[in-house]
Structure 1
Amino acid sequence: MNYSEKISISIEAIKGENSMDDFWSWYNTRLAKNAFDITEIPLRDVSNWNYNDESVSHSSGKFFKVYGIEVETDFYGKRKWDQPIISQPEIGILGFIVREIKGILHFLVQAKMEPGNINILQISPSVQATKSNYTRVHGGNSTPFIENFLFKKDESVVYDQLQSEQGSRFLKKRNRNMILDLTNVDFPDSIPDDFFWLTLGQLKALLNVDNIINMDSRTVLSGLPNYTVGNTSYKKNIYSDSLRADDEKSFRPLSYLFSWIANLKSNFEIKANLKPLIEMKGWVTSDEKISSSGDRCFDVIGVKIGASNREVKSWSQPILASKHVLLNGIVMQKLGGVPHLLFQAAFEPGNFDGVELAPTVQSSLLEFDHDPSNPNLSFAGYFDKDFSDKEVLYDSLQSEEGGRFYHDQNRYSIIHLKENTIDKIPENYMWITLNQAKKLILINNIFNVESRSLLSCMI
C-alpha cells in the first residue's frame, strides 16, 4: 500500500484508536484540570519587555520585537502606508508525529493554551515551539517530543518545508512545517495527558468546528502528500476531480505557473523600511497601547498570563489585537469540466519573498488599500448570503496564531460556483487545480498562510 492510500484510509476513518466522544471527553478534562488566566494590561506595564519610542522588545533580546515600518509598493497600483509589525527572525518548528495504529495513520495532537485563543485551548501539532522556547531561553520546562524533530531520521520525513506566516503582521517570519511518520521508530506507548491520537477523518470533522484546530495545525496539514478520496459525497467529487487533474486538463500547465509567479516576484517594486514606532503616520502610541487613528486594522496591547500546562507558568507579553472578523475565501469553478481554485498573487509587507498566493478574497489586503476597484471587493460578493447561486463547501470561524494575536478569528470559506460564473480574472489572479496546489506547496513561500489554512480544510 502506498502512502497516498494510507492517507486516504485515515481521511475516511472517523473512529480510530479513540472515538470523537473520547476526544471531547479528553478536551473538556484538559480544560477543567488546567488553570488559565489572561488579563489585558497597559503595554507599558508588560514585565521583562522594553517599550520605548523605537520599538517593543524582550529584555533577553530573544523572542520577538515590534517595530514600525514604512511600506511603499507599485504592485497593481501605487500605495504607501505605515504600520507596526512583528519581527521574529528565528525559525520555529511546527510538526506532527504520525504513527500507524491498528493499520490506520494517527496524528499526535496536543491541547495547547495560547494567550490569544478565544476558547483558551485549541488543538495544536505534536510540537509547536519557537526556537527561543525549545532552546529554553525562558528557563522553563523542555518541549515534549522536540528531539524527534531536531534529530529526525530522513526515512521518517513525510513533509518538511519552511513556510511563511501572516505577511500583514509578521516581518519575514517563517516556520519549519513538518510531518514525521514514526511508525517504524521507537516511541513511548504512553503519552502525556495533554496529548491525544486522532485520525485525519477526526481532524477533518474538527476543522468544521469553530476555533478548535489552531492555525499551526492547519498550515502543517496543508502539506499532506497528494491522495485520493472516495466518491461518497458531492464535496468529495469536487476535490477528487481536482486532485486527479493533470497538466493537460488544467487552465495553465505547471511550467506556466512557475514562470507567472517568478515574473510577479521580480517585476514589482516593494519596499518595507523600519522606522521608530513614534514616527508612524496614522498611529498613536500611549502607555496603554499602540493603536491606529481610525477604526481599521489592529492595536498592540499588553497581556498578563497564567497557565498551568505551559513550560513557563506565568508571564506577560505584547500581543496584536485585531478589530474585525475578516474573510478568507476561495472560489472553486469548473473550467473545461475540471474543478479549479482561484488564487490571487498578493503583496504583503512582511512576505519573505515579496509576492505569495493568497485566497480569492483576503480581507486583510484591504486594510491599507482603499481603491474601490480592488478585486477583493468584487469577489467578496460571491460569499455574501444574498448571493444564492453557489454551493458552500466549507464555512467556519477559525483563529489565527494565538501566541501573537489576541482573540483574532476570521471567516474561512470555500464555495463552488457554476461554470462560467467568473469569465475574466485580473492579471494577478490564476486558476489552479488542487493537484497543482499539492505540487506547489512543496516549495517555500508560494502559498501564504491563509491559503494553506483553506487547503487544509479540503482533506
Structure 2
Amino acid sequence: MTRSETAARFAASAGARDGAAVPGPAFRDWWEGRPRSGAFEVTRIPFRELDRWDFDRDSGDLGHESGRFFTVEGLRVDDGAGTVRTQPIINQPEVGILGILVKEFDGVLHCLMQAKFEPGNLNVRQLSPTVQATRSNYTRVHQGNPTPYVEYFHGPARGRVLVDVLQSEQGAWFWRKSNRNIVVEATGEVPENEDFCWLTLHQLRRLLLTDNLVNMDARTVLACMPLARPQEAAQTSTDPFVRALLRSYDAVDDAPEARNTLGEVISWLTDARARCEHTTQLVPLSDITGWTRSDDAISDDSREVFQIIAARVRAGNREVREWTQPLLAPWQQGLAVFVTRAIDGVLHVLVRATPEPGLPGAIEIGPTVQRRSTADTRAADPFAETALTDDPARIRSDVVLSEEGGRFHHAQTRYRVIEAGPDVPLETPDGYCWVTVGQLMDLVRHSHYLTIEARTLLACLHALW
C-alpha cells in the first residue's frame, strides 16, 4: 500500500461523522464509566518515603534501585554568549512505545484508544494511545501485569505497520528522550478490553478541542499519521480560513503554492543547527546551583521554572496497583502558538527554529511562540502580541492540554492557532520560516524535525475543518 493510499484512508476516517464501532453517545457513556476496576489516588510524599528510589551518595542523582525507568540528574547549559546555568533534568534513555492500533469497521479506519489514568494528570484520566509504555514497563521490570495489546507493536508482526518514527519529547525537561510513534493496522480479530474504545479520526479531531482530554502521547501519534486533503470538506466549506487550510494540505515538497520549497525549509533548519553555539553537559545533581533541595522538593530559587517532587500512587486499573515515583512539576502553565497566514490563498504556518538543551539535535522546528511559563518571556519576541490576541475573529483554536502525566505533575500548555493578516509580514526575522501544512506532514514522517509542541499544534490544525 502506498503512502498516498494510506493518507486517503486516514482522510476518510477523519471525515466520518460518527463511529461504526462506538457512536458519539456511546463514547460519552463509556468515558464516564471509566474505571470499573478501582479508584486512582495520588498523594504527594517526602523523598524519604520513596520506595526503591534514592539519591546517589556521590552524585546526588535520584534514581531507581534497578537502574531502570529514569533518573533525575543535573544539566549544565552554556549559551555560547557567556551565560551558564544549571537545572535538574530527567534522563530516560529507554525508547518507549507510543502505539495506536487501527482497524476497519464498515470500511472506515478506527483507532483503539485507552482511558488511561496517570499520576501527573490534573484530571487523572485522559484519552491515550493503545499502548503507552516505557521499555521497563512492557518488559515488566515492575513485576506487574502485562501491558495490554503490546504484542501488536513489539515482537513478531501482528499487523501492517502504517507509521513508524522516533520522535523527541520536551527538550527543556528530558535529556535526549525519544519515543517510537507507531501505528499498526490489525488484520485479524482484536480482543476486547473494557478500558479501550474504537474511535474514528473525526471523533478524535473533535475531542482534541476539549481541554485536558486527549493526552500528549496520543496527540503526537495522531500528528504522525499521513492525511490527504479531505475532498468533501474542500468542496463544501465556505470559510476562507478553512479553504486556505485545505489547500495547504496539497502544498507539499516543491509545490509552487508554497512560499519555500521543502529543500529550502530543511536547509534553513540545518543552517540553524550548524550555527547553534549552545553546549550542554550532564552533571551531578548535587552540583547544580540556583536550586534548593528540601525534604519534599528540589525547587528553583526563583520559584518560576519547576520543582521535582515525589508521589505515592494507588491504581486499580494499572499493571501495578501501588508505587512511588518522582515527578517534575512546573510552577505555571505554558504557552504554544502557531501564527498562520494565507499566502496566495494557501495557509502557511510561521515556525521557529527552537533550541532546547535536551533535544537530541539541539534544535527542532517549534511553534511561532512558545513559553514554558510566564517567567519565560522573550523581550525581543516579535510575534508575542499576535500570539496573545483576544480578537475572536483571529483565534481559530484555543485549548489547554496536559503534557505527559507519567513524568510531569499538572503540566499544562495553552495551545493556540491564530489567523493573522497583512500585519504579520511575509519577510521573516532570523530563526523563523513560513511552511505549509503539507510540508509539516512531510517533515513529521522523519525523526527529530518537529518538537512535541509543534506536533500537538499540527494535530490541532487537523481539527479545524
Q: TM-score, normalised by structure 2?
A: 0.92
Per-residue deviation, residues 251-307 of structure 1 (Å, max 9, x unmatched): 111111222222222222222112222321211112211001013111000000000
Matched, 1:349 2:351: no
Alpha carbons 1:110, 1:195 under 8 Å: kept:
yes
Query: Offset of 1:334 from its aligned partner?
Result: 1.7
Query: Aligned partner of 1:200: which letter?
Result: L
**TM-aligned CA deviation for residue 458 of structure 1:** 1.9
Q: Contact 2:123/2:212 (CA < 8 Å) preserved in 1?
A: yes
Q: Aligned partners of 2:150, 2:36: CA distance in 1, in Å?
A: 26
Q: Deviations over 1:118-169 (max 9, x none)?
A: 1111111011100000000000011111111113649711110000000000
Give 1:7 shift: 1.6
SS in 2 for 1:44: helix
- Per the alignment, residue 67 of structure 2 pairs with 61
AA aligned opposite 1:105 = L
**May I ask how many residue pairs the two structures share in their alignment?**
449
Name 1:23's counterpart in structure 2.
Answer: 27
Counterpart among 352, 369, 389 of residue 361 in structure 1: 369
Gaps of 5+ in 2: none
1:112 aligns with 2:116: yes
Contact 2:70–2:90, Cα closer than 8 Å, also in 1:
yes
Corresponding residue of 1:72? 78
**Contact 2:35 2:317 (8 Å CA) reproduced:** no
For the pair 1:3 / 2:6, whether they are aligned, the reply is: yes
- Going from structure 1 to structure 2, the CA distance change for 1:79 and 1:20 (only over 3 Å counts) comes to farther
> Which deviations, in whole Å up to 9, do the C-alpha atoms of 1:72-100 show, x marking residues without a partner?
123xx654211100000000000100111
Whether 1:86 and 2:56 are equivalent positions in the alignment is no
CA distance, structure 1, for counterparts of residue 300 and residue 101 of structure 2: 41
Please state how far the C-alpha of 1:61 moved relative to its aligned partner: 0.5
The worse-fitting range, judged by mean Cα deviation, of 32-41 and 153-162 is 153-162
Structure 1 residue ranges without an equivalent (≥5): none
2:245: which partner in 1?
239
Equivalent pair of 2:334/2:374 in contact (CA under 8 Å): no
Bigger CA drift: 217-226 or 273-282? 273-282
Are residue 372 (structure 1) and residue 379 (structure 2) matched? yes
Does the Cα contact within 8 Å between 1:305 and 1:316 map onto a contact in 2?
Answer: yes
SS across alignment from 1:30: coil
For 1:159 and 1:137, locate their aligned partners in 2 and report how far apart those are by CA, in whole Å.
27
Partner of 2:309: 301
- The alpha-carbon deviation at position 457 of structure 1 amounts to 1.4
Counterpart residue number, 2:45: 41
The residue that corresponds to 1:216 in the other structure is: 217
Alignment partner of 2:192: what SS?
A: coil
Who is 2:325 aligned against? 317
Distance 2:279 2:290 in 1: 18
Corresponding residue for 2:127?
123
**268-277 or 291-300, larger mean C-alpha shift:** 268-277
2:13 counterpart of 1:14 = no
How far apart are residue 32 of structure 1 and its match?
A: 5.7
SS in 2 for 1:263: helix
- Shifted more, 358-367 versus 268-277: the winner is 358-367
Partner secondary structure for residue 82 of structure 1: strand
Distance 2:399 2:364 in 1: 24
Instruction: Give 1:421 deviation, angstroms.
Output: 2.6
SS at match of 1:310: coil
The worse-fitting range, judged by mean Cα deviation, of 420-429 and 448-457 is: 420-429
Question: Residue type matched to 2:403 in 1?
Answer: E
Question: Which position in structure 1 is the counterpart of 2:141?
Answer: 137
- 1:391 and 2:397 are equivalent in the alignment: no
1:366 Cα deviation from its structure 2 partner: 7.8
Contact 2:86 2:288 in 1 (8 A): yes
Q: Which moved more, 1:358-367 or 1:275-284?
A: 358-367
Aligned residue in 2 for 1:274: 282
